[in-house]
Amino acid sequence: MADSEIPSSSSSPSMAARESSWREWSKRENGENGYKFGDFSRGLLHQMKVGVRDFKHKVSDTALTFKENSENRTVEYVQKLAATDEAVQDMAQSLDGTNASTVAERFWKELCKAAHTDHAEQMDETMTEESSGLLQVEVLSAGTDDRPLLRSDKVRAEKPVVLVSVGERRSKALKEGKAAKFQAT
């Protein structure tokens, strides 16, 4: 394998097209683009971490779906019971919004998943005839040395990402120098 080639056994065929050097593939933060000792191991470790994170998101989503379905079946059962028993009707009426916590939890999990996925230009939609314009949001900087971006626990954010939400559309993780486009309708 030449110095400038990245491994062809990447986890996704499009990865080789986007990441054109050992430095990018291994997620090495400094140095030249050619192969450095440890790049292969570092790159494989990164891919494994991404795979484990994706699996965690899928398991979490499946658990939420199971919880949501269980709550819905319980509510339906109590409502059917309330239709025949007047003493249960008050309880049945209070159950109408019980899955609000599951909906909020699912929304938060989707945000976390988006924050772990780099935004790609392929995600941006092209203009359609119904569009009245295009909004492009570019992240110029996420804090400075003088005024760093802080996490909620007041600790400096190490590798911050920005999620942009416009109406129903939401970007994936935007890092410094990256942009997302949104159609205005």
Task: Tell whether 5 is covered by a domain.
Answer: no
- Judgement on whether residues 85 and 100 belong to the same structural domain of the protein: yes
Pairing mode of beta strands 179-184, 133-138? antiparallel
Listed residues 97, 114, 131: the one ending a domain:
114
For residue 7, what pLDDT is reported? Answer: 57
Asked if the structure places residue 87 within a domain, the reply is: yes
**What is the structure's pLDDT at 81?**
64
> Which mean pLDDT values do the consecutive 10-residue runs of the chain (185 residues) have?
53 50 86 90 89 88 86 73 62 59 71 74 64 77 83 82 74 78 71
**What pLDDT shows up at residue 11?**
47
Flag whether 73 is in a domain. yes
pTM reported for the whole predicted model? 0.47
1 found inside a domain:
no
One domain for residues 131 and 69? no
Tell whether 6 is covered by a domain.
no
Q: How many domains does the chain have?
A: 2
In angstroms, rounded to a whole number, what is the distance separating the alpha carbons of residues 58 and 66?
12
Last residue of a domain, one of 114, 142, 163: 114
Whether residues 69 and 136 fall in one domain = no
pLDDT of residue 12: 46
Contacts for 63-69: CB closer than 8 Å, 24+ residues apart: 64/102, 64/105, 64/106, 64/109, 67/102, 68/99, 68/102, 68/103, 68/106
170 shares a domain with 143: yes
| 3-state secondary structure string across 32-71 | CCCCCCCHHHHHHHHHHHHHHHHHHHHHHHHHHHHHHHHH
Single out the residue in 93, 114, 135 at which a domain terminates.
114
pLDDT number for residue 44: 92
pLDDT of residue 41: 92
**If we measure between CA atoms, which residue out of 29, 52, 27, 30 comes closest to residue 42?**
27
